[in-house]
Amino acid sequence: MSADMSTDTFPFSSPVQLPLFSIDRVLSALFAEQAGAMPPVLIVAPHPDDETLGCGGAIALLRERSYPVHVWVISDGTKSHPNSRRYPAAALRALRANETRTALTHLGVADTAITFWDLPDGAVPLPEQPEFALAVERCQAQLIDLAPSLILLPWRYDPHPDHRASWWLLQGAMAELDYSPRLLEYPIWDWDPAQRQPLPRGIQVWRLDISSVLARKVQAMTAYRSQITDLIDDDPSGFRLTPDMLAPFQQPWEMYLEASKAALAVDPAPVSDSGLVNLDSKSRDRSWLSLDYHLAF
């Protein structure tokens, strides 16, 4: 199957059919023209946990290869349990930030490489909103400072508005930069077909083989106790990542989309790994389309 998915087959419906690449293959395609020092990589997470769910495997693989990895957590995550008395907003913000630090420790990222933007959860500004310009300005200053060569950011059509807003924030900030980092987009909430946008032409979709670091990714996910356990049990409306919702992120691969330059399109032959066949056929049995979608945090 071609890596160009701009046809009638939507890639999130059947991700196991997508090409599978090793991290070294991806890095050599992305950074072919760069020699010398490891270029910095930026991970953009709309909420505390998206970096681990969407890119935890990539982060661990990059750190194993000594790439500097910085993580920006855009919103403060305080909407996951808005009615908890034990965890009012300030306490929840601190709790979730600590969970992020713990998760990223498992993936090899130091606290000093994490920036918490603390924008309001559920209200990360979109381009039409007045707060957008200020957020873009801030984002631009930090991008100039960090000068990442590669940015992993949320999929532009992710159904969650904070995820789309985070994509727009980066787009706005990069528009006036005099360099163009490579961009890879990662999906989080795209399994609901009713909310999907058509895939634009020219977008490449493929999977990254994370089998060698899957155990560490799963361990990092367990750091998010406020999201996956009864830790906060005094808010009946609180958000919970259920096992079904977590399942797509416990696969031995992660899905990425690339619109710019499409480095891997030059040679779409996937890396084969017979060890993945069984896991893939298991996940094929899982209904990717029947998972409940909750826009709850």
Instruction: Tell me which residues touch Zn ion (CB under 5 A).
Output: 46-47, 50
Q: C-alpha angle with apex 161: 202 to 157, nearest 5 degrees?
A: 10
Least CB distance to Zn ion at residue 50 (A) = 4
CB of 35 to Zn ion, least distance (A): 36
Q: How far is the CB of 236 from Zn ion (least distance, A)?
A: 21
Question: In the bound complex, what is the minimum distance in angstroms from residue 297's beta carbon to Zn ion?
Answer: 7
Kindly state the smallest distance separating residue 47's Cβ from Zn ion, in Å.
4
- Long-range contacts, stretch 281-284, CB < 8 angstroms, 24+ apart: 281/16, 283/15, 283/16, 283/247, 283/251, 284/14, 284/16
Give the residue at shortest CB distance from Zn ion: 47
| Cβ nearer to Zn ion, comparing 87 with 297 | 297
In the bound complex, what is the minimum distance in angstroms from residue 84's beta carbon to Zn ion? 19
Nearer residue to Zn ion within complex by CB, 67 or 249: 249
Token reading at 80: 């996951």
CA–CA separation, 109 and 115 (whole Å): 12
Count the Cβ atoms, other than its own, within 10 Å of residue 76. 22
Token pair, residue 268, equals: 């779409």
Q: Closer to Zn ion at the Cβ: 21 or 157?
A: 157
Burial class (CB in 10 A: 0-12, 13-18, 19+), 89: middle
**Rounded to whole angstroms, how far apart are CA atoms 226 and 92?**
9
- The whole-angstrom separation of Cα 15 and Cα 146 is 33
CB of 124 to Zn ion, least distance (A): 10
- By beta-carbon proximity to Zn ion, the closer residue of 21 and 256 is 256
Structure tokens at 141: 């200053």
Q: Which of these, 151, 144, 87, 78, lies nearest to 116 by C-alpha position? A: 78
Q: Which residue has the tokens 């361990």?
A: 219
Residue nearer to Zn ion on the CB measure, 27 or 74: 74
> Is residue 255 within 8 Å of residue 18, measured between CB atoms?
yes
Say if CB 172 and CB 136 are below 8 A apart: yes
47 vs 63, beta carbon nearer Zn ion: 47
* 126 vs 265 by CB, closer to Zn ion: 126
